[in-house]
Amino acid sequence: MSSRALILGIGGQDGAYLAQLLLQKGYEVHGTSRDVARTPFYGLKRLAIQQDVQLHSVNMTDYGNLLQTLSIIDPSEIYNLSAQSSVGLSFAQPTETLNSIANATLNLLEAIRYLKRDSRLYNASSSEMFGDSDGLPSNEKTFFRPHSPYGIAKSTAHWLVESYRKGYNLFACSGILFNHESPLRNKRFVTKKIVKTAVAIKLGENQRLKLGDLSIVRDWGWAPEYVEAMWIMLQQEIPEDFVIATGKGTSLQDFTSSVFGKLDLDWRAYVEHDPDVIRPYEIKYTVGDASKAAKLMGWTARLMMPEIASKLVEMELARQKTGTTEEI
């Protein structure tokens, strides 16, 4: 029989690509969102796999609902991708952010412990836990200094996973993923905003792009590669946490320049500085060191900037020209 996987929070970018990967590997794939009837599942539709996934409505802050779902599905692998995922929005909705990440993860760990089954758990941690790394790459031993409610919530969930792994001998691990992009990225994220606006300008629309601090540096990778790392983590003999990153930093200005340059446009003619979009406590520099993943799992990032920017532009250009429906 094929393995059975449960992707909690399948409605986002990573959930869609992970579902595609697992289906290709012969898994029976189940996925959740808070309300299946109201979730658009844009990514699953774009990848043409929604009909191949069994979908369930689950509120992860409701322990009984979560426990019942796990008991019925009985997955061999669980991928916890469910959460309020916007760093910027976490400043406006800190309580929801903490509940959807930290409390939800605690409920999940308790449900796995209570059921006493052999499910393997992948938990989505985040580079936001490190905060500003002072120009140095972050690895699994780097201290957490989160700058946002999102980073604080992810740090809490991360330590909960480690505590249950060591205290209750669960096969539970966390992937500390740095920024990773794709055409399925939600339009709330700055990379999607830049690409979408630049392509619209190229196609003749009269638009301006408002950005905050262009000097910030991020480690941008390719999302389909990063979900491969999630799966590989659960195939290891011993559960461990891994940083997943390219190891290369790119400023927001260089990313913007690459996107506009791909379209033969000068970004400086279309970009305006907007202090209102700067976060209350911004991270200036964050780059990851994924050498442990390379050594123990054989995983390394293949696509780097500006190749990623180029692929995003090409795919968005094709989308806008054909009028493919945008995500909600």
Q: Which residues are catalytic?
A: 126, 128, 150
Helices (H), the chain: 13-24, 42-46, 63-73, 87-92, 94-98, 104-115, 149-168, 190-202, 223-233, 252-262, 291-297, 307-322
> Does residue 276 contact residue 283 with C-beta atoms inside 8 Å?
no
Sign of CA dihedral 51, 56, 59, 60: negative
The enclosing H or E element of 217 equals strand 217-218
Q: How many CB atoms lie within 10 A of CB 211?
A: 19
Q: Max alpha carbon distance in the chain (Å)?
A: 60
CA distance 102 to 310: 36
Reported for 269-273, long-range contacts at CB under 8 A and 24+ positions apart, including other chains, are 270/197, 270/198, 270/201, 270/207, 270/208, 270/209, 271/208, 271/209, 271/210, 271/211, 271/214, 272/208, 272/209, 272/210, 272/211, 273/210, 273/211, 273/212, 273/214
DSSP letter string, 31-64 = EEES-TTT---HHHHHTT-GGGSEEEE--TT-HH
